[in-house]
Structure 1
Amino acid sequence: MHNTGKPNPPQRVLDVVVIGEALTDVITTPNGTTEHPGGSPGNVAYGLARLGVSTGLLTSIGADRRGHALETHLAGAGVTLLPGSRPLERTSTATATIAHDGSASYAFDITWDIEPQDYALTPPKILHTGSIASFLSPGAGKIKTLLQQLRTECTTTYDPNIRPALLGTHTEARHTFEELVHLTNVVKLSDEDAQWLYPGKDPEETATHLLNLGAELVIITRGSSGSLLATPSAALSIPAVKCSVVDTIGAGDSYMSALILGLLTHGTNSPAPSALNQLGRMAAAAAAITVSRAGAKPPTGNELRTQLETQSQPHSPVGHPLSMP
């Protein structure tokens, strides 16, 4: 790729626009330091492009070595880096320092701001956002404005990917989260996110609360215990796909990418239980592929199709309905 240092505008209307941070994960151990592309929204965009979805990313990186590395990584999968994605002098980092005893300490050097373009004339089919970008000013306010502007123009999806150390007080974070839930159609969060936001509530109670706030579909992932998919009229528990786990890096982001692909494929209007089952199975399959190999390596479209064909055998488990409170 010829890198001019400036992102090129998309040449076509994109199926999905992702808005959120792409940063460099710095891992320091007694054996040395390594760097990897990171940031939940950046990972979701990368995963979508790997699945064959035309995807643009509006992010906030610098015109530095790390920014160029991120751009090369994203372009390698086919992600379009959207105009306004290079406002920084220095690309953000998240550093994990691993001690000899295995304990870890974390440090963040993150600046989040964006220069959004006008999507009103060419809205994507789906707009996805989340993570640090939806909480950290000044960029978070611009995301909220975009969601308000495009609320009736496209389907919006949101994954808060809670990082408590960066969110201020619990009350402030929950208020910000719920304001965005009101502006989005689909909300996905992990059971850890749900427990942090709503201590004392079980997943079904949390899903009901978010549906009452205006979400049309709520997904709560539960690791090896599977996931819950709930609408105002139905709820399904989808089992996790049995596999050998190498590491869980990027599993939630792969789940989100495949879920968005499923929404594009099956539609977003009040999915019936059969469609919920298909959405959940597709997303669970993507997560299983990712955790079965080292690093955040989401599946390609062919890999996901193969996995789903394997799961469709008669002995494979399927989702089952739940009673919502």
Structure 2
Amino acid sequence: MHSPDKQAPPAARQRHGVLVIGEALIDIVKHGEGTQPVEHVGGSPANVALALGRLGHSVRLLTAVGRDTHGARIEKHLSDSGVVVDPRSWTLERTSTACATIHQDGAATYDFDITWAVEWPGDPITAGVVHVGSVAAFLPPGAETVHRIVEQVAHDAIVSFDPNIRPALSGDRLAAIGQVESIAAMSDIVKLSDEDASWLYPEWPLDAVADQLLECGARMIALTAGASGALLVSSTARVQVPSPAVKVQDTVGAGDTFSAGLIDAVLRAPALLEALNEDALYTFGCHAAAAAAITVQRAGADPPTRQELHRAARAFAVKRSANAAIGLFAC
């Protein structure tokens, strides 16, 4: 278990790119009863990879898909944004799906048909950042492989983790807590929603959840709460970051874009991860919130390009009178 004052892995500075590990699937989205469903490429880790690819990063996705029409669609969708699907990802007979129903308030509920089996990569992992999470962190048999990979890279790469709890797939709650805290202990960035926190730690205030994960050994915790903003916490500081006021179309992929925004901020200004004072936390939070605010205004998981995020981050910084460090990401 890492100590709460864990330092960012120095070797990560010499490494290159992002490795995302986790599920990729087809989201079948229904906007209420009586409407025609629409298919989108989805899966939380795949959405994170997509968002980072659109922001211009070198990204590889290690996932589990089938050589069918859905699998081909996933690969094309990701490759169009510069994401490479690892060749070891073609392990399934049939690509997984998730049916998402969008309610009047824009929130989504899911019904899953998922198989998660991922191959252990034999070659050394040389990515500077490794992101894991969601179903891939809990669903056997692949969850064990994910945990082993994180153990392998934790001392050499920056590790990002988003539990993105799906109660129907996360198994027993106490067992899930053990898995979350075990991966958090090896992570530099842990992002989870208020719904994740509520399921894992019922009736705990968000501050207490953040403290628990810091105690496990995570360096930075980001707890998102939709329109109510986000709480970012380190061992030395905590800040509340507001959400931009936007018209929400749906929330599919919003949390994944927030995670990608945090990773993007770390890659663009790694020195901030060394400090994690109030200014650094606020910078990370505003950057991620601006990215997520673009996604919620569009149907499906449709994260921003660098140019779109540039404009949104500048507007958000002006409206909120953010500190000067925001300028790193608004130029």
Partners of 1:26 and 1:172 in 2: CA distance:
29
Equivalent residue number for residue 218 of structure 1: 221
Equivalent residue number for residue 277 of structure 1: 282
Aligned residues: 303
Equivalent residue number for residue 21 of structure 2: 19
Partners of 1:305 and 1:105 in 2: CA distance:
31
Partners of 1:118 and 1:217 in 2: CA distance:
30
Identity %: 43
The answer on 1:288 being equivalent to 2:293 is: yes
Partners of 1:306 and 1:193 in 2: CA distance:
30
Partners of 2:210 and 2:109 in 1: CA distance:
32
User: Could you say what the CA RMSD is over the residues aligned between the two structures, in angstroms?
Assistant: 2.1
Q: How does 1:69-218 map to 2 (within 5 A)?
A: 69-96=73-100, 106-118=110-122, 120=124, 122-218=125-221
Query: Which letter maps to 2:305?
Result: T
SS at match of 2:89: coil
Q: Which runs of 5+ in 2 are unaligned?
A: 1-14, 324-331
Q: Could you tell me the TM-score, scaled by structure 2's length?
A: 0.86
Cα drift, residue 96 of structure 1? 4.2
Q: Could you tell me the TM-score, scaled by structure 1's length?
A: 0.88
Q: Which runs of 5+ in 1 are unaligned?
A: 1-12, 320-325
SS at match of 1:128: strand
The answer on 1:302 being equivalent to 2:307 is: yes
Between stretches 255-264 and 244-253, larger displacement belongs to 244-253
Tell me if the contact between 1:188 and 1:218 (Cα under 8 Å) persists in the aligned partners: yes
The answer on 1:32 being equivalent to 2:36 is: yes
Cα drift, residue 105 of structure 1? 7.8
- Once the two structures are superposed, what CA deviation does each residue of 1:61-88 show, in whole Å capped at 9, x if it has no partner? 0000100000010001010111311011
Structure with bigger helix share is 2
Change (3 A) 1:132 1:281: same
- Once the two structures are superposed, what CA deviation does each residue of 1:101-124 show, in whole Å capped at 9, x if it has no partner? x9x98532211011132453x521
Change (3 A) 1:119 1:216: farther
Query: Which letter maps to 1:298?
Result: P
Tell me if the contact between 1:216 and 1:270 (Cα under 8 Å) persists in the aligned partners: no
Equivalent residue number for residue 4 of structure 1: none
Which structure exhibits the higher relative contact order, with contacts defined as CA atoms closer than 8 Å and separated by 6 or more residues?
A: 2
